[in-house]
Structure 1
Amino acid sequence: MRGMDKPRNSPLVPDAVSAEILRHDWGSVECGCGRPAEHLEETLWNAAEGHPAAFHALEGHVFAGSRLRAPAPAACGVLMAVWAAGPPRLATREALLWTLLALLNTEDDGSSHEAGLYGQCAAFIRTGLPGLHRERAAAPGSVAAAYADGILALLDLSV
């Protein structure tokens, strides 16, 4: 089995999110910290279970400063699966939105002929546009709405 010795199971993690985590060969990708990215699997499981600190723990591994790292698109796919599952806790949604905003606040590493890491992440995030618009409209002036607004602005979809 890729990544972990045995598959992790959690009643808090929807099947679609589990499948997204398990479909990637994390060990074959170099993490932003320089090691194989298989250690990110545990962090992503914790994020999928709704632990806000797990989202922040991706910094330095998936993105660092203004640069995305190799596992960013796969991690973004997991984050968007979590978003699509509709995390009920406000703290989890805020941490997830903060992470998506941080990913979009990086330099675009693609060219006009390829998506690059940034383009791949932006494509994943675009799949969650309806939820982002709902989050922004649900509680104007809230932290979550501000993050959603920032994401939409960076995608140039704020209207």
Structure 2
Amino acid sequence: MVVSELVRAELRRVDWASLECGCGDSAEHVPLLIEAIITAETPRDMIGYTLDGHIEVNTITFECTPHAVGVIMAALAGELSVLARGVLLETLLFVAAGSDDYAPHAEGAGPGDGCRHHAQEGFWKLVQIGLTGSADDAETVADICEYFGLGGDKAAFYQAQLRERMRAKTKRGRST
């Protein structure tokens, strides 16, 4: 796959060098990691390129995380390989699981609020992925929506739809 113009624009919009990364350095290298994941054709192509330890570590988020979530949502809005979509959804799930990081910091809202905002903007795309993707995708999207509290008054309905899809696909013995 190729990196879409939307993703490239979202990557350019951010001053990554000025942001703290989970690895302790600046987040200047995060765009390269995201691009490598999007363009990987096999799991082998992803060796050495992971967002774990950079935009989240054990669900702990960092200064660069909300910006990375914006890029992930832009990527999910376009065409991705099943491999890339799975990795990006899993990363989004780990970020969402750290949703207790919504506590305001001294300068205002915490990084969790920014992450939730970007995910909420892409709520319908997430639901579409969950309703049309694999059973694993459905379960992951349902969990993302639950952890982030996405969807407002629609949340319970769509989470139930996604979980039912996951159960039905798993029951049939299919995962795609």
TM-score range, shorter chain: 0.7 to 0.9
Q: Which residue of 2 aligns with 1:85?
A: 78
Task: For 1:4-153, list aligned pairs within 5 A.
Answer: 12-50=2-40, 53=46, 57-87=50-80, 89-106=81-98, 107-111=100-104, 114-139=108-133, 142-153=135-146
What is the alpha-carbon distance in structure 1 between the residues aligned to residue 112 and residue 91 of structure 2? 14
The Cα shift of 1:99 comes to 0.8
Query: Does the 8 Å contact 1:17/1:82 carry over to 2?
Result: yes
Alignment gaps of 5+ in structure 2:
150-154, 158-176
Deviations, residues 35-64 of structure 1 (Å, cap 9, x unaligned)? 11112121022133256648x711111111
The Cα shift of 1:139 comes to 4.8
Q: Percent identity?
A: 28
- RMSD across aligned positions (CA): 2.4
After TM superposition, where is structure 1 displaced by more than 6 Å over at least 4 residues in a row?
Answer: none
Larger gyration radius, structure 1 or structure 2 = 2
What is the alpha-carbon distance in structure 2 between the residues aligned to residue 145 and residue 50 of structure 1? 23
SS in 2 for 1:43: helix
Query: Does the 8 Å contact 1:149/1:158 carry over to 2?
Result: no
Relative to its length, the structure with more helix (as a share) is 2
Q: How many residues align structurally?
A: 146
TM-score, scaled relative to structure 1: 0.80
The Cα shift of 1:68 comes to 0.4
Q: Which residue of 2 aligns with 1:3?
A: none
What is the alpha-carbon distance in structure 1 between the residues aligned to residue 130 and residue 67 of structure 2? 25
What is the alpha-carbon distance in structure 2 between the residues aligned to residue 136 and residue 16 of structure 1? 22
